[in-house]
Structure 1
Amino acid sequence: MLQKTRGIALSYIRYRETSIIARVYTEEYGLQSYIINGVRSAKSKTNKIALFQPLTLLDMVVYYKDDRDLHRLSEVKTIHPFQSIPFEVAKSSMALFVTEILTKSLKEEAGNPVLFRFLEDSVMYLEEAQNNYENFHLAFLLKLSFFLGFGPESAREFEGQLQEHSYPFLGNESTTAALNTFLRLPLGTPVRLTRADRADLLDALVAYYRLHIDSVGEVKSLPVLREVLG
């Protein structure tokens, strides 16, 4: 049955000689996998594979059957062509990291319009931001944790959970203030952090996710993001 839905591209893997299997978080059906044929062929007249780069916002017509794990696309186009995320090192590093965390964290195969709207708004913020986005990945992970069911109410609770599980994170005045700002105020709210404090918070947030989601495991994009931003 043909259905319309919007989606956010997360990742893809090569499939056979010319195809890919893409993971997309959709507004109507949650996390879904789609096979896209012929996009890696030399005869392909369009660069459709670019539509499945990290965080691309998609408008799709899909063949959907609730008893299948792998679906097909009838039509796909981007809602908002990116002008900055793929071309700026800091933003592209954040996008890779965010999509890896989302792929490991999102398991639901049902629509969640509120979560989808949060993800869409976050992507658009990152795409359009010209400054004060160096902490985007930190604020995003904290806000996402509430949708996943384990958001901390305060910096003290966050730090306490880590210490309870013997993670050696000792927040200082700057990181505690930053955590509380990220929790309470919108994305993009200016927060001053040193590179070292930003790196410590990043590692602590990944550890916090590992406490609550077994499948997070190794985050391959983390070393690159740590090097670029801390």
Structure 2
Amino acid sequence: MLLTTNAIVLSKLKFKESDLIVKCYTQQKGVVSFLLHGVLKSKKGGAKVAYFQPLSQLQVITDFKPKKSLQYIKDIKVSHMYTTLHSHILKGAVVMFLAEVLSSTLQEEEANEPLYSYIEHTLLWLDTQSEYANFHLLFLLKLSKYLGFYPDVSHIDYAFFDLNEGKFESKYTSKYCITGDNLELLKQLLGTTFDALPEIKINAKQRQSFLNMILLYFELHLGSFKTPKSLQVFNQVFS
């Protein structure tokens, strides 16, 4: 079946001597892995490899075979050309980190238009911004909505939030209850938008603490989730 779909690059892996396996989140088929034969030794291969930078947004034409674990690309082009995400060192760190998170969290092999649209448009938003130090925090929090464990805000005025239960509590109910700065920042982020993010002022220590908390939240609700290998480098960049 000849299929044309938009796709966001999650990861790439060298295979054998000159092949490349590229994992993408596609608009029409969810997570799909593509095998590119000989791309690393071809004279034209360098140009092709350049398409597959983390979180690049592409349009792919493939002869899609549902029972195959690896698909082949017939044609490809860039659907959205970023101006800063792959050239700015700090934004590049955000992209590497989020690509690793998405690669770990996105497992479904079926279309999810709202989720695809969310990732697509938030990346385009980030590409145009000059203030984005807290972007990854709100991105992950809002991502949880599409993954099925967005915090229940019914009692947002309560003094604790139970990460395991995903809801606010009036008393300390488990070791996964948070309070203090992380709780206050959670409440702030739950009530804000990407455009209003610059209004939230926190320091590097608070940012790192909240990120560790949100990653634990993902671990508790996604059995397959692994802490990104790039976390330590990412924290150093934003310290």
Is this a same-fold pair by TM over 0.5? yes
| Contact 1:14 1:20 (C-alpha < 8 Å) held by counterparts | yes
- My pick for the range that moved more, 156-165 or 145-154, is 156-165
| Separation in structure 1 between the aligned mates of residue 97 and residue 174 of structure 2, nearest angstrom | 24
| Contact 1:3 1:61 (C-alpha < 8 Å) held by counterparts | yes
Higher helix fraction: Structure 1 or Structure 2?
1
| Segments ≥4 residues shifted beyond 6 Å | none
1:210 maps to 219
| Separation in structure 2 between the aligned mates of residue 44 and residue 158 of structure 1, nearest angstrom | 56
TM-score relative to the length of structure 1: 0.91
2:3 maps to 3
Displacement of 1:7 after TM fit?
0.5
2:90 maps to 90
TM-score relative to the length of structure 2: 0.88
- Residues 175-225 of structure 1: CA deviation (Å, up to 9, x unaligned): 444322322322242211111110100111111111111222232011011
2:167 maps to none
Instruction: Tell me the amino acid that sits aligned with residue 179 of structure 1.
Output: L
SS in 2 for 1:31: strand
| Contact 2:4 2:61 (C-alpha < 8 Å) held by counterparts | yes
SS in 2 for 1:100: helix
* Higher Cα Rg, which structure: 2
| CA separation of 1:165 and 1:125: change in aligned 2, threshold 3 A | farther
| Separation in structure 1 between the aligned mates of residue 50 and residue 11 of structure 2, nearest angstrom | 11
2:61 maps to 61
- My pick for the range that moved more, 205-214 or 150-159, is 150-159
Task: Show the 5 A alignment for 1:163-182.
Answer: 166-167=175-176, 169-172=178-181, 175-182=182-189
Displacement of 1:41 after TM fit?
1.1
The gaps in structure 2 that reach 5 residues or longer are 165-171
The answer to whether the aligner puts 1:223 opposite 2:232 as a matched pair is yes
Counterpart selection for 1:159 from 161, 167, 184: 161
| Contact 2:160 2:177 (C-alpha < 8 Å) held by counterparts | no
| Separation in structure 1 between the aligned mates of residue 25 and residue 192 of structure 2, nearest angstrom | 25
Q: CA RMSD in A?
A: 2.0
Aligned residues: 227
Q: State the identity as a percent.
A: 30
| Contact 1:3 1:63 (C-alpha < 8 Å) held by counterparts | yes
Displacement of 1:158 after TM fit?
7.9
The gaps in structure 1 that reach 5 residues or longer are none
1:144 maps to 143
Instruction: Tell me the amino acid that sits aligned with residue 217 of structure 1.
Output: K
Instruction: Tell me the amino acid that sits aligned with residue 28 of structure 2.
Output: E
The answer to whether the aligner puts 1:186 opposite 2:193 as a matched pair is yes
- Residues 139-193 of structure 1: CA deviation (Å, up to 9, x unaligned): 0000000100011134669832267663585432xx4443223223222422111
SS in 2 for 1:23: strand
Task: Show the 5 A alignment for 1:20-169.
Answer: 20-44=20-44, 46-131=46-131, 133-154=132-153, 159-161=161-163, 166-167=175-176, 169=178
